[in-house]
Amino acid sequence: MSGFKYIVETKNLVKRFGDVIALKGVNFKVRNNEIVGLVGDNGAGKSTLVKIIAGIYAPDEGEILIKGQAFRRLTPQKAYELGIVLVHQERTLSENHTIWRNIFMGRELTGPFGFLRIKEMRDTATKLLKEIGLKAMSADTPVKYLSGGYKQGVQIARALCFEADLVILDEPTVQLSISEVQRVLEYVLELKKRGKSCIFISHNIYHVYPVADRFVLLDRGKIVAEFMKADLTPEDLSHIMVSIARTGKIPVEYEKINLIRGGQE
């Protein structure tokens, strides 16, 4: 990947739902091989922003640049072709199908007469599961028998299988046990090792902090702050989030490391 600095860049995105303005002019960027923690309270607009990037919603205003190419809007198919995979908050696996079937769903490998190349798909799935540390389970296991954390893993395996360049995880750790959360965090670090980019949405700072390189704080449809991880501790981040929720502002002592007003971009 070269010739562009950002895998995704949005310019002045505005999105309205009737009277609600979910996004009020959002400029958001993700670099190559960067993990961005997108944080903010419920209703801040996080899911809306990533759904626009993944082509699910069309913005009312603004544009989206993917690898330097500008679009007024994307479709899910176009976003997919450009290497963007959104792992939804909502369930998107087919419960009665096996792990390997789910990994290849909609993208089945077929032979010259349209026959499914089952062995190749199972072998590839098994290899991928092993690579991301999901080796205990057979690729023939139906998805309905998997835990929530394992399901997230299967979705990430699916994204990796299609060589996604940007994997978007929207609240992947909600309703997971502590050990499952650790698993999900390991998958994210695996994406980083493989040179991919990731947008990780969570309102649990302790889940997003260990994996993110940079944090973007969204509040009521606007990006209000942006920090490099090296500049703050999880406690600082927590403190800032509480302040934004209470007063709509970040504490003044953090302004000098806030990249939005620090003019470092």
Nearer to ligand ADP, 26 or 121 (CB): 26
44 scored as a contact of ligand ADP (CB under 6 A): yes
122, 140 contact by CB (below 8 A)? yes
153, 176 contact by CB (below 8 A)? no
From candidates 25, 43, 142, 262, binder to ligand ADP by CB under 6 A: 43
47 scored as a contact of Mg ion (CB under 5 A): yes
40 scored as a contact of ligand ADP (CB under 6 A): yes
From residue 184 to residue 223, the character string flagging contacts with ligand ADP as x (rule: CB under 6 A) and all else as - is ----------------------------------------
Q: Which stretch binds ligand ADP (CB under 6 A): 46-54, 70-78, 97-105, 250-258?
A: 46-54
172, 152 contact by CB (below 8 A)? yes
Distance of CA 189 to the CA centre of its chain: 13
Taking alpha carbons only, the member of 78, 75, 70, 58 closest to residue 15 is: 58
> How many Å apart are CA 38 and CA 56, to the nearest integer?
18
Q: Count residues contacting ligand ADP (CB under 6 A)?
A: 11
Nearer to Mg ion, 10 or 47 (CB): 47
Starting at the edge strand that comes first in sequence, how are the strands of the sheet with 214-219 ordered? 84-87, 166-170, 197-201, 35-39, 214-219, 222-228
Binding partner of residue 153 among ligand ADP, Mg ion, none, CB cut-off 5 to 8 Å per kind: none
Which spans in the chain are helix H?
46-53, 76-81, 99-104, 118-131, 148-161, 178-193, 205-208, 234-247, 259-262
> How many Å apart are CA 200 and CA 11, to the nearest integer?
20
| Parallel, antiparallel or unpaired: strands 214-219 and 197-201 | unpaired
Tokens read off for 208: 């997003």
> How many Å apart are CA 13 and CA 22, to the nearest integer?
10
Q: Residue 116 gets which letter from DSSP?
A: B
For residue 215, the tally of other CB atoms under 10 A from its CB is 24
Binding partner of residue 48 among ligand ADP, Mg ion, none, CB cut-off 5 to 8 Å per kind: ligand ADP
Nearer to Mg ion, 47 or 197 (CB): 47
Nearest distance from C-beta of residue 100 to ligand ADP, angstroms:
31
Binding partner of residue 20 among ligand ADP, Mg ion, none, CB cut-off 5 to 8 Å per kind: ligand ADP
From candidates 22, 125, 164, 166, binder to ligand ADP by CB under 6 A: 22
From candidates 34, 36, 45, 168, binder to ligand ADP by CB under 6 A: 45
Which residue's Cβ lies closest to Mg ion? 47
Binding partner of residue 158 among Mg ion, ligand ADP, none, CB cut-off 5 to 8 Å per kind: none
From candidates 29, 46, 67, 214, binder to ligand ADP by CB under 6 A: 46
For residue 220, the tally of other CB atoms under 10 A from its CB is 16
Chain residues binding Mg ion by CB under 5 A are 47
Residues that bind ligand ADP (CB under 6 A): 17, 20, 22, 40, 42-48
